[in-house]
Amino acid sequence: MTIVESLSPFTGSWQGHNRMRFMPTDEYQESVSAAVVAVTAKDYVTIEYTWAHEGQPQNGLLLLGSGPGSGPGSGPGEGGPGEGGPAAEGEAPPSDASSGTGAGTGVTAVWVDSFHASPQWLTLTGAVDDDRVVRLACTYPAPEGPDWGWQIHIEPGDGNGGRITMHNLVPGYDPYQVVEATYRRQA
């Protein structure tokens, strides 16, 4: 299934809520969120979204494509999540249950976000699974020690709503959700 086929129920304009936290023991901070999901250049999907952190407007963009060379380990990129984090290697972690990537159609995404990835982009790779969920992952350099990981999961829903979650993978700990954005079709 191509990325366009997978995310077709999620195309359009959406309103919703964004929940974000830094660490798994932190309380989520909530804000209003909006998203526009569109097919572009025939074979790609863009997801533009807005949200806020401590009252400050934030926004982001995902550009997703499928096809040859779009899979775990298909090549390095740049960027780094976190507040102005360092440049990332952009390679997906090995394909296993903990990384969130696995069998399915290969996908590559470029992600920019004014808060999580600024000032550089992050390149993620992954797959569209049989359940239509897009699961993307990459690694990025930590301040000290081994690289950390980042995952983005896009659940297109059934045409009435969708969900995007983002997870941090810290070596030695279970992956934990950092962001959850839920959307309903804009009336």
pLDDT over 60 at 84, yes or no = no
Percentage of residues in the chain having pLDDT higher than 90: 60
Q: Tell me the whole-structure pTM to 2 decimals.
A: 0.80
Residue 187: which pLDDT band, with cuts at 50, 70 and 90?
low
Distance CA(44)–CA(8), nearest Å, equals: 11
Which range, 82-86, 98-102, 161-165, has the best average confidence (pLDDT)?
Answer: 161-165
Mean pLDDT of the chain: 82
pLDDT over 90 at 146, yes or no = yes
**Nearest by Cα to 20 from 111, 103, 86, 116:** 116
ω into residue 86 within 30 of 0, thus cis?
no
Q: Residue 19 to residues 2, 22, 34, 84, 121: CA-CA distances in angstroms?
A: 29, 11, 13, 20, 22
The mean pLDDT value for 110-130 works out to 87
